[in-house]
Amino acid sequence: MERLSWDQYFMAQSHLLASRSTCTRLVVGATIVREKRIIAGGYNGSIAGGPHCTDEGCYMIDGHCVRTIHAEMNAILQCAKFGEPTEGAEIYVTHYPCLQCCKAIIQAGIKGVYFAKDYKNHPYASELYKAAHVTVKKVPFDDLIKLKLAGVQETK
């Protein structure tokens, strides 16, 4: 069996993290990596100890659930909480980061954003990444990778 590439490996980790999401609208996971080492992970859900959307429903304001912290933000905050530097790191996210997460990623000094699925990609986020010299790359997470993770050989 062919090994997963580093991008596929870290993206798989993000999809695993997403399985912990408590958001009923979109399931997202994020993995922060520095020098090919995972330093933090996050998924979208409520604050620690708070009520979850899966338990009490979404708390909607202007079309957005304000109960949920995004996966990218959770991963960045985990680094802050445990004193793990993010300067020069990379983040692997199941979905293209929203504009607010884009700004947090740039402020955290993360230099690479890898995402599996497009999701409301904001053109200003693209401008911000370019201005901050952040690499942005789509890393599809398809059924073939899922088969590889399960140890199933591809049939031709």
Could you give the residue numbers annotated as active site?
Answer: 72
154 within domain boundaries: no
113 assigned to some structural domain: yes
* Binding-site sequence positions: 70, 98, 101
> Hey, what's the torsion of the CAs at 11, 46, 72, 43, to 10 degrees?
-10
User: For residue 107, is it within any domain?
Assistant: yes
As annotated, the binding site for Zn(2+) includes 70, 98, 101
Q: What angle do CA 92, 99, 25 make, to 5 degrees?
A: 75
The 3-state DSSP class for residue 10 equals helix
CATH number for position 22: 3.40.140.10
Q: How many domains does the chain have?
A: 1
In a domain, 1, yes or no: no
The pLDDT tens digits along the chain (156 residues) read 678 899 999 999 999 999 999 998 899 999 999 999 999 999 999 999 999 999 999 999 998 889 999 999 999 999 999 999 999 999 999 999 999 999 999 999 999 999 999 998 999 999 999 999 999 999 988 765 665 666 655 554
Task: Tell me whether residue 55 is in a domain.
Answer: yes
The three-state secondary structure class of 114 is strand
- Do residues 95 and 113 touch, judged by C-beta distance below 8 A? no
Whether 155 is in a domain gets the answer no
156 in a structural domain: no
CB 54 within 8 A of CB 22: yes
Which domain does 37 fall in, by range?
A: 6-149
Where helices occur in the chain by DSSP H, the ranges are 6-18, 53-56, 71-82, 99-107, 123-131, 143-150
User: Is residue 30 in some structural domain?
Assistant: yes
Residue 101 one-letter amino acid: C
